[in-house]
């Protein structure tokens, strides 16, 4: 399981899809990568203004999409956030903030893989 001490959160190295060499996946992955900035914006807006349930929906969607496009790091981090959201807590936003920051970093690193050979 990933944690805050993992190098995943302490580097700017692009995260490349595990499907990078799968024929036929390149164009689909590229579409997903193009959507990342919008997904980050929607996630942040949801975190700031939506209910816990709405925010959880965004996280859940990214969890599934991450795995589907070969980005296990997205799935793992989103699963951890979902788990924390299941615990009743009126201060959920404060509890989730650090996880959100790490999640955004992961999404930015995934987006940075657009420039990596195979995702052009």
Q: Give the pLDDT confidence of 47-81 residue by residue, as tens digits.
A: 998 788 889 999 999 999 999 999 999 999 999 99
Q: Could you tell me which residue, 65 or 7, shows the higher pLDDT?
A: 65
* pTM of the model as a whole: 0.84
- Tell me the CATH architecture of domain 24-112: Up-down Bundle (1.20)
Token readout for 34 is: 């193009």
The residues spanned by each domain of the chain are 24-112
């Amino acid at each position: 399981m990933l944690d805050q001490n993992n190098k995943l959160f302490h580097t700017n190295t692009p995260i490349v899809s595990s499907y990078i060499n799968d024929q036929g996946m390149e164009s689909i992955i590229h579409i997903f990568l193009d959507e990342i900035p919008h997904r980050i914006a929607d996630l942040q807006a949801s975190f700031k203004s939506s209910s816990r349930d709405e925010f959880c929906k965004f996280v859940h969607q990214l969890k599934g999409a991450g795995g589907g496009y070969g980005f296990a790091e997205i799935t793992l981090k989103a699963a951890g956030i979902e788990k924390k959201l299941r615990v009743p807590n009126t201060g959920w936003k404060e509890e989730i903030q650090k996880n959100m920051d790490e999640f955004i970093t992961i999404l930015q690193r995934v987006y940075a893989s657009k420039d990596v050979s195979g995702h052009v």
